[in-house]
Amino acid sequence: MSTSYEGEQRSLASAAGEGAHGTPPWAPAAALSGAEYSAVELAQSEDRVFLLEQRDLPERERYLTVHDAAGVAEAIRAMVIRGAPAIGIAAAYGMALAARAARGEGAAGYAAAMQSAGELLASARPTAVNLEWAVRRALAAALEHAGRRGEDRAQELAELARTIHREDVAACRQMGRIGAARLPESGTVLTHCNAGALATGGYGTALGVIRAAIAEGKQLRVLACETRPYLQGSRLTAWELQRDGVPVEVISDSMAAWFMQKGEIGAIVVGADRVARNGDVANKIGTYGLACLARHHGVPFYVAAPWSTIDLATESGAGIPIEERSRDEIALVGSRRVIPAGVPTRHPAFDVTPAELITAIFTERGKLTPREIGRSVPPPG
């Protein structure tokens, strides 16, 4: 790993306490008992970023300290932090660190430094559009005000990153309220991967819908698919829900069809890494299979995603780049090899669920059918 970031033995509460939010806006709803935490925070000094080391969960809870944009990009690539909204926020904070590092530069040097940082951060992972969206937003602000004093430029980028963070939390809470109305009054909801506070600025997209429904008094339990090979469901989703006191059970990915066949699942709610203009959704590998099963068994299949995940410039799922990750993530479980040496693997990290398999998409702008996504705003250009 790069020396751009370093481990620190910090409790979730102590790291959050040094952040910029004061009372964290990502705290669970009052009706829930979970602790306060966020996957990413900018220090009050604005010279470093704290990233929750998600690869260590649930065994160990610690934050890494990142000092520059290169460290943020490396942490995103290595999945120290993951989840489409969360890596967008982390990238915005990375741009703030780049602006701080370039305080002594003139306008031209500052613009060049910010463009370089933006390219580095935006290329860290290809599928989640929030990453590119946040970098574009930060870079536009940086270039517009390149002629200002270095301290003023750095402060502006730090505040913009905090704004992006706050906006995401607000979007999660709003889509949670919107989506909660569609969940059953009682029963079991299935989710895949992790689309909770750890994957966002706080509260969560898919888990935000579930949290909001429970806060309203609905009697729900959750089945979390383990989500091979990175086990975000068993390691992260179960960790979050257990902290909140939400009844959760973990199943292997191959068990989902059985529970649908038995009539135990009342709804499926997942997050998204990119939503194309026609309503096709890229999400963690395995999502498409769940959507096919849901259609066969008559189970509503919902997607929760902030508007920053909507990519109106991509017409359909065919245009979404799908990240291929390391063979070792398939071949190893922890440090144990589970595939014979020399046997090749395939590892697409995401798949695309066609719009026709999706019951509705919850955004902070409302509940939309997939076909309404492209019609909800004027076309680009």
What mean pLDDT, rounded, does the chain reach? 89
- The tens digit of pLDDT for each residue in 192-248 reads 999 999 999 999 999 999 999 999 999 999 999 999 999 999 999 999 999 999 999
Q: Domains of the chain, with CATH numbers?
A: 5-173 (1.20.120.420), 176-372 (3.40.50.10470)
| Rounded-to-10 torsion of CA 253, 258, 264, 267 | 50
| pLDDT band of 334, cuts 50, 70, 90 | confident
**DSSP symbols for 324-368:** B--THHHHEETTEE-S-TT-----BSEEEE-GGG-SEEEETTEEE
- Checking if the pLDDT of 284 tops 80, the result is yes
232 labelled binding-site residue: yes
Per the CB < 8 A criterion, the answer to whether 309 and 129 are in contact is yes
- Checking if the pLDDT of 10 tops 50, the result is no
Q: In which residue are the tokens 């689309």 written?
A: 195
- The tens digit of pLDDT for each residue in 189-207 reads 999 999 999 999 999 999 9
115 labelled binding-site residue: no
**pTM of the predicted model over 0.85:** yes
108 labelled binding-site residue: no
* Cα R_g (the chain), whole angstroms: 20
Ranges of beta strands (E only) in the chain are: 5-8, 40-42, 49-52, 63-66, 186-191, 219-225, 248-251, 267-270, 274-276, 281-284, 301-304, 310-311, 332-333, 336-337, 350-353, 360-363, 366-368
284 labelled binding-site residue: yes
Per the CB < 8 A criterion, the answer to whether 191 and 206 are in contact is yes
Pairwise CA distance, residues 73 & 81, whole Å: 10
CB atoms within 10 A of CB 129: 26
100 labelled binding-site residue: no
Query: What positions carry a catalytic annotation?
Result: 273
Weakest mean pLDDT among 68-72, 162-166, 332-336, 354-358:
332-336
- The tens digit of pLDDT for each residue in 288-319 reads 999 999 999 999 999 999 999 999 999 999 99
Percentage of the chain surpassing pLDDT 70? 89
374 labelled binding-site residue: no
82 labelled binding-site residue: yes
- The tens digit of pLDDT for each residue in 33-48 reads 333 568 999 999 999 9
**DSSP symbols for 143-155:** HHTTTS-HHHHHH
